[in-house]
Amino acid sequence: MIVQSIFSRRLHRLILAVGAAVAGILFSTLLHLPAQAQAPQSGGDTTIYMRSSQAYAQPAPNLDDYWDERHAVGDLAFEAAFVTAPANVNPGLGPLFNNVSCVACHFNNGRGLQEKGQRVVRVSQLGAEKILPSDHPYALEAVAPTANTSPVSGLGTQVQEQGIYGHPPEGALEITWQEQTGSYGDGSDYSLRSSQLELTYFDGSPIPDGVVVSNRIPLPVFGLGLLEAVPEEVVLAAADPDDFDGDGVSGRPNWVWDVEQQADALGRFGWKSNMPNLLQQSAAAYANDMGVSNPMFPAENGVEDIDLEILDAATAYVQTLAVPARVSVDDPKVRKGERLFANANCAACHLSEMRTGTHKVPALENQMIHAYTDLLLHDMGPELADNRPDFQATGEEWRTPPLWGLGLSQTVFPYSTYLHDGRARTLEEAILWHGGEGAASREAFRTMSESDRMALVAFLKSL
């Protein structure tokens, strides 16, 4: 079965590639467009030319045979839906969980929705002593010695909103949205929505005082192997914690706990950069999001619902996904937008270029990439704050999210929204929420003419 699906996938890719090449030649001769090779290849040699709903779900075209097969096996792991044990296939769901498979939250590998089953709600008890891992069923929720997240009684540090049959979930979250209005420099109005959260235990009883709640939507998962392959020195070189150059933008690394190395490590993944690498991110997703215990996070009684083979496969999958190429790079409006992006100092955080170093996947090595992130934490002001510290990240700090592939968000998953809690319905709204270190950029955008704002957004959609 697996062999067959790898084979048909190869064939399928070949047909796609030939089709795309023919279409590309026809298209560029007809419209006198420059050849695609000249368009910025957002993911270096891992770039693909595809604009369909499957654009985030392709293997990097430069994988060798070994990694190509690892990718195909990982694809199955990413899609595998877990069920309550005992069962013949994929047993071990829960008892507490948020969803049954990786792809259920990362639909088509894109960003997910602000909805029960997709979001992840992190909590911590302010001013409490940390509890020991053995007090809690899932190791990651309490194990990290350098985390400053204290588990909440009955919830741990992540709220599982679902439980297997006969096992009540931990908590229930009610969200109410409110609108606030503002106006652009040219006098036209806009409206922004923000949420009010009410978290209770599942039976409706109130949670203790002093609990901070951070509500996060799923992030897209393509291109992440490249971000893992950016050398630590490159990330640290972009940090400017004391704002030495005086542009109002600082940027600090998050130092988080690496479970495998049992040491602090640079955080790169998650909305607050609280995960050091994709193996740990995947292992934690299995354990905490799906209740699937594994070699990195075994259950309290030592049970491992999946073995290292499956954990490694899921990890390899998110390491080896291609990055969709930019489009319309020569469109005058897009080019103007790119200049405005630079002038508004957006690129101080959303770095337009980084070079990768070494990685165990050779296809990811030494690539010039255009991810538009610095992987650093920035204080984004009180309005975006979740007030929940996470390792070194304060309650107001967030990791700059990559902007590559942004123009495909709605194609990949209609109705998907932006920012950590999905509050921004449009790219304009996402920019208008920037505060703190991003406030000057936001003001630059807010006071632009309408045609300049449209050009800037056109640039974002070309990514």
Question: Which positions lie near ligand HEC, rule CB under 6 A?
Answer: 98-99, 102, 104-106, 118-120, 216-219, 221, 224, 249, 269-271, 278, 281-282, 285-286, 289-290, 314, 318, 341, 344-346, 348-350, 378, 380, 384, 398, 400-401, 403, 418-420, 427, 430-431, 434, 437-438, 441, 445, 460
- In the list Ca ion, ligand HEC, none, the entry touching 247 (Cβ below 5 to 8 angstroms by class) is Ca ion
Q: Does 92 contact Ca ion by CB under 5 A? A: yes
Structure tokens belonging to residue 327: 């489009």
Place of tokens 């929705």: 113
Nearer to Ca ion among residue 43 and residue 94 (C-beta): 94
Q: With contacts defined by CB under 5 A, how many residues of the chain interact with Ca ion?
A: 10
Residue, CB closest to Ca ion: 156
Q: Candidates 24-32, 224-232, 301-309, 408-416: pick the segment binding Ca ion (CB under 5 A).
A: 301-309
Beta bridge partners of 264: 257
CB of 250 to ligand HEC, least distance (A): 8
Nearer to ligand HEC among residue 36 and residue 394 (C-beta): 394
- In the list ligand HEC, Ca ion, none, the entry touching 99 (Cβ below 5 to 8 angstroms by class) is ligand HEC
- In the list Ca ion, ligand HEC, none, the entry touching 92 (Cβ below 5 to 8 angstroms by class) is Ca ion
CB of 412 to ligand HEC, least distance (A): 12
CB of 88 to Ca ion, least distance (A): 16
Q: Does 307 contact Ca ion by CB under 5 A? A: no
**Rounded Cα–Cα distance for residues 455 and 334 (Å):** 6
CB of 421 to ligand HEC, least distance (A): 7
Q: Residue from 156, 225, 253, 436 that binds Ca ion (CB under 5 A)?
A: 156
Q: Given the DSSP bridges, would you call strands 96-97 and 162-163 parallel, antiparallel or unpaired?
A: antiparallel
Q: Does 240 contact Ca ion by CB under 5 A? A: yes
Nearer to ligand HEC among residue 23 and residue 245 (C-beta): 245
Q: Residue from 68, 258, 305, 390 that binds Ca ion (CB under 5 A)?
A: 305
Q: Does 243 contact Ca ion by CB under 5 A? A: yes
Q: Residue from 79, 186, 198, 247 that binds Ca ion (CB under 5 A)?
A: 247
CB of 78 to ligand HEC, least distance (A): 6
- In the list Ca ion, ligand HEC, none, the entry touching 291 (Cβ below 5 to 8 angstroms by class) is Ca ion
| Window 253-292: residues binding Ca ion (CB under 5 A) | 291
Q: Does 249 contact Ca ion by CB under 5 A? A: yes
Q: 3-state SS string over the chain?
A: CHHHHHHHHHHHHHHHHHHHHHHHHHHHHHHCCCCHHHCCCCCHHHEECCCCCCCCCCECCCCCHHHHHHHHHHHHHHHCCCECCCCCCCECCCCEECCCCHHHHCHHHCCCCCCCCCCEEEEEECCCCCCCHHHCCCCHHHHCCCCCCCCECCCECEECCEECCCCCCCEEEEEEEEEEEEECCCCCEEEEEEEEEEEEECCCCECCCCEEEEEECCCCCCCHHHHHHCCHHHHHHHCCCCCCCCCCCCCECCEEEECCCCEEEECCECCCCCECCHHHHHHHHHHHHHCCCCCCCCCCCCCCCCCHHHHHHHHHHHHCECEECCCCCCCHHHHHHHHHHHHCCHHHCCCCCEECCCCCCHHHCCCEECCCCCCCEEECCCCCCCCCCECCECCCEEECCCCCCHHHHHHHCCCCCECCCCCECCHHHHHHCCCHHHHHHHHHHHCCCHHHHHHHHHHHHHC
- In the list Ca ion, ligand HEC, none, the entry touching 324 (Cβ below 5 to 8 angstroms by class) is none
- In the list Ca ion, ligand HEC, none, the entry touching 404 (Cβ below 5 to 8 angstroms by class) is none
Which spans of this chain sit near Ca ion (rule: CB under 5 A)?
92, 156, 158, 240, 243, 245, 247, 249, 291, 305
